[in-house]
Amino acid sequence: MATLEDLGVSAFINIVGAFIFLLLFAVLRIQPINDRVYFPKLYIAKKRTHDHRGARRAINLNLCTYFKFLSWVPGALRMNQTELIHHAGLDSVVYLRIYTLGLKIFLPIMVVALLVLIPVNVSGGTLLNLKKDVVFSDIDKLSISNVSPGSNRFFIHLLMAYVFTFWTCFMLYKEYSNVAFMRLHFLASQKRCADQFTVIVRNIPRVSSHTTSETVEEFFRRNHPDHFLGQQAVYNANRYAKLVKRKERLQNWLDYYQLKFERHPDKRPTGRTGCFGFCGGEVDQIDYYRARISELDKRMASERQKVLNDPKAIMPVSFVTFDSRWGAAVCAQTQQSKNPTQWLTDWAPEPRDVYWENLAIPFFSLSIRRFLISIAVFALVFFYMIPIAFVQSLANLEGIEKVAPFVRPIIEVKVVKSFLQGFLPGLALKLFLYILPSVLMIMSKVEGYVSLSSLERRTASKYYYFMLVNVFLGSIIAGTAFEQLYSFFHDPPSEIPRTIGVAVPMKATFFMTYIMVDGWAGIANEILRVKPLVIYHLKNMFIVKTERDRERAMDPRNIQLGENLPSLQLYFLLGLVYAVITPILLPFIIVFYAFAFLVYRHQIINVYNQEYESAAAFWPQVHSRIIASLLISHVTLFGLLSTMKAAYSTPLLIFLPLLTIWFHKYCKSRFEPAFRKYPLEEAMEKDRMEHASEPSLNLKTYLANAYLHPIFHMFEQEEQKEETTLEVRIDKSQQQQQQQHHVRSSHTQYEERNTETHYYHEERSSSQYQYQYQHEETHMRSEQSPPHFVYHHEIQP
């Protein structure tokens, strides 16, 4: 067990680490050359332009600016909430509220706990007399373990458990109510956008004599005759997307060699073609890549024709639009078909939020996928524990020494010992956790969720289970198991609960170390952005030629909810579990919340660019995880007290989890529908207001291509090269004329419509994106290349 001294070493290392990171950040951020690494969001929001950067030198020589190394802090606090919602979206703002919620919950708890519990624990000093075999540290003298078993002092701990739970619930209720209000207000004040009118329909049954589009058309005309407006079929363009990716790769190489040639015009770059450039004939690289690209272009053209003309390329999914929010709300919330596995309707996610790859998974396959993935997650969560447990055991050097006395000479070197105990376990754990989110995200994708926001939420939920079992339980039980190895095998099994109960407070130092490594140093690392910094400069060196390329080289990233939510939830868990048991842990958590709040507020203002806006859809998850933490803290305390012979006070604890569960159920029914459904009252109100203010609005035109697959822009581009763009006006009479006419039989028509296809990408950076009917070529190439293609077959000129 780590002593206070080890903890001091760890704190020192981490604080110095954090300080170095901050210092580096202070130096790097004021270099104009790094401007696009540290302020990409401002570029995207057009609050900073290349002129601004170009006017200065690459290196900042103004010495004054170097001394203000914390100057970013006031900047992080400068926007108020409304501005921040406008700047970065509601998701980001509500995400920040999790940190403030942490502060609101734990600051008062910490004050009370330090004032009341620490004196109670310190004056109870009996741990030394009671258990001689179990190794423990000075920290334990401040914890509940120090109170003598059977003492009446446990009533104070019990009272505190009640007070802390009620306070937490009170804050949770206030926050849930706030966030729900913010969400409703946000949705109500949102400008018109396509997802308000659109429903995603999955599992459309195949009718032999009809095309999918005809089936959809017929079904909704029959069952929603008053409100159905139109539909957008989804095309399967997996192969085309692959070709696009390959072309992009070739284009990058071509750019690279052209740049090389420009720098050394005397020597045309050459190379071998086969086996990674080691064999094959010598060729001129520029000519070679040009030839391959033009060959690829031909294949892409033929593939494009295939996607558009092959009836099998249409998938049994469709985006169905309605003429009012009311109609869409009704369709999204009701069951359509007698067979509940067909015609599944749901709110369409925002166009930016759609995960196109998963649209076509049939119901039965979905059901199997979710089952298999849940087994896989279970296995991952529980078998990952083996390496973690091994690393954890290193934290208990005394335990190792007992079992393997021969390593004592090495470990006993003071610096090695402190380093091992203070730094290693947290770091090793963090490394383990580094690759995990990507694995979990892939799993979520396999599960078949159709929006990026739900994928992130699912990932967060998997990651939370992982953290709970491996970081929290794993650290407590496995670590203890190793320590108490000897006792375990020789005492009767009835002693086990007692030993575990004692182990929870003993693990406090480990978690303090963990908070310092993961929370303090980790957050400082977040603000430094080492990886994006390196990658940006590498790209800048080899690929970037134009201003647009530089824009593409920026990597603003986003909040990474899938990874950050569970970490945050772990801190809530630690705080709530140790609030009564070892309150000295709370200041560490408070420091984390305050520091992380500043850092993330800075990053949200200057760096992150959210890809979608889910209007705080993740809050119910945050809420229920904190409730789960409360319950775990009750169970832990119950287990601990029952080993402390606190026979009078322990039974009184039973009501606490019951009340918490009731509170959770009440909150769930009171607030959760605001996050899952769209009330008709609201829909009707907005419809009416809109109708009053814009009676002549042509919704059909407005919605025509809202759910256009990004790959469609590739098609556009290709077509543009080949033909002259025709300006097309759509009016309703023409539409109606041609409604029955199917585009796929007459491919040439669709090329005329590239004027209305790009509107939603224009405001990708703003949370309340508005649609503009302008055609900006700049964003064309910045699109990624997913494998499907959406095409609206109704709006034809």
Residues forming contacts to a copy of itself in the complex (CB under 8 A) are 184, 219, 222-224, 226, 326, 329-330, 333-338, 340-341, 343, 363-364, 367-368, 370-371, 375, 492-494, 658, 661-662, 665-666, 669-674, 677-682, 684
- Smallest separation (angstroms) from a copy of itself to the CB of 495: 10
Q: What is the spatial distance between Cα 398 and Cα 420, in angstroms, rounded to a whole number?
A: 12
In the numeric block, which tokens belong to residue 357? 């790859």
Residue with Cβ nearer a copy of itself (366 or 503):
366
**Nearer to a copy of itself among residue 452 and residue 656 (C-beta):** 656
What are the DSSP calls for 606-617, one per residue? Answer: HT---S---SST
C-alpha to C-alpha distances, 691 to 574, 682, 745, 755, 780, nearest whole angstrom: 52, 14, 36, 26, 34
Amino acid at 371: F
User: In the complex with a copy of itself, which residue's Cβ is closer, 406 or 489?
Assistant: 489
Go through 373-399 and write b for each residue having 16 or more CB atoms within 10 A of its CB, e for each that does not. beebbeebbeebbeebbebbbbbbbbb
Q: Which is nearer to a copy of itself, 180 or 515 (CB)?
A: 180
3-state secondary structure of 634: helix
Closest CA to 423 of 5, 7, 140, 3: 7
To a copy of itself, the closest distance from the beta carbon of 212 in angstroms equals 17
Residue 586 has which token pair? 């709370």
Using the minimum distance from each CB to a copy of itself, give the nearer residue, 688 or 732: 688
Q: Which one-letter amino acid corresponds to residue 328?
A: A
Give the separation between CA 663 and CA 449, rounded to whole angstroms.
30
Q: Give the whole-angstrom CA distance, residue 30 versus residue 675.
A: 41
Phi first, then psi: give them for residue 545, nearest 5 degrees.
-115, -50
**575 within 8 A of 590, measured Cβ to Cβ:** no
What phi and psi, each to the nearest 5 degrees, are found at residue 104?
-60, -40
Shortest Cβ distance from residue 675 to a copy of itself (Å)?
10
Least distance to a copy of itself, CB of residue 644, Å: 21
**Parallel/antiparallel/unpaired status of strands 344-347 and 270-274:** unpaired
Burial of 686 (0-12, 13-18, 19+ CB in 10 A): buried
Buried residues in 268-281 as b, exposed as e (16+ CB within 10 A): ebeeeeeeeeeeee
Least separation in angstroms between CB 622 and a copy of itself: 18
What gap in Å lies between CA 384 and CA 382, rounded to an integer? 6
Minimum distance between the CB of residue 673 and a copy of itself, rounded to whole angstroms? Answer: 4
For residues 760 and 352, is the Cβ–Cβ distance under 8 A? yes
Q: Which is nearer to a copy of itself, 247 or 325 (CB)?
A: 325
Q: Which residue, 59 or 368, is less far from a copy of itself as judged by CB?
A: 368
For a copy of itself, which is the closer residue by CB, 494 or 748?
494
Residue with smaller CB distance to a copy of itself, 621 or 796: 621
CA distance 303 to 236: 11
Pick 330 or 795: Cβ nearer a copy of itself: 330
**585-to-132, 177, 221, 394, 749 alpha-carbon distances in Å:** 25, 29, 62, 21, 68
Distance CA(362)–CA(448), nearest Å, equals 9
**Sequence-ordered alpha helix ranges (H) in 607-654:** 619-643
Residue number with CB closer to a copy of itself (329 or 699): 329
Distance CA 324, CA 422 (A): 61
CB 368, min distance to a copy of itself, A: 8
Closest residue by Cα to residue 297 from 258, 248, 236: 248
Cα dihedral 582/585/587/589 (nearest 10): -130
Least distance from C-beta 494 to a copy of itself, angstroms? 5
Provide the minimum distance between the beta carbon of 681 and a copy of itself in the complex, in angstroms, as a whole number: 5
Cβ-based nearer residue to a copy of itself, 549 or 682: 682
Cα–Cα distance, 255 to 258 (Å, whole number):
5
Closest distance to a copy of itself from the beta carbon of 28 (Å): 47
Compute the least distance from the CB of residue 326 to a copy of itself, in Å. Answer: 8
Round to whole Å and give the CA distance between 464 and 563: 9
Query: Contact at 8 Å (CB) between 769 and 193?
Result: yes
The residue among 176 and 600 lying less far from a copy of itself, judged by its C-beta, is 176
Kindly write down the DSSP assignment for every residue of 355-371, as one continuous string: -GGGTT--HHHHHHHHH
CA atoms within 13 Å, Cβ hemisphere of 629: 29
* Min CB(390)–a copy of itself separation in Å: 24
Q: What is the DSSP letter of 761?
A: G
Closest approach of Cβ 498 to a copy of itself, in Å?
13
- Number of helices and strands (H, E) in the chain? 38, 7
> What does the longest C-alpha to C-alpha distance in the chain come to?
93
Q: Least distance (Å) from a copy of itself to the CB of residue 334?
A: 4
Cβ distance to a copy of itself smaller for residue 144 or 329: 329
- Residue whose CB is less far from a copy of itself, 343 or 572: 343
Q: What minimum distance in Å lies between the beta carbon of 489 and a copy of itself?
A: 12
CB of 642 to a copy of itself, least distance (A): 16
Which CB sits closer to a copy of itself, 219 or 571? 219
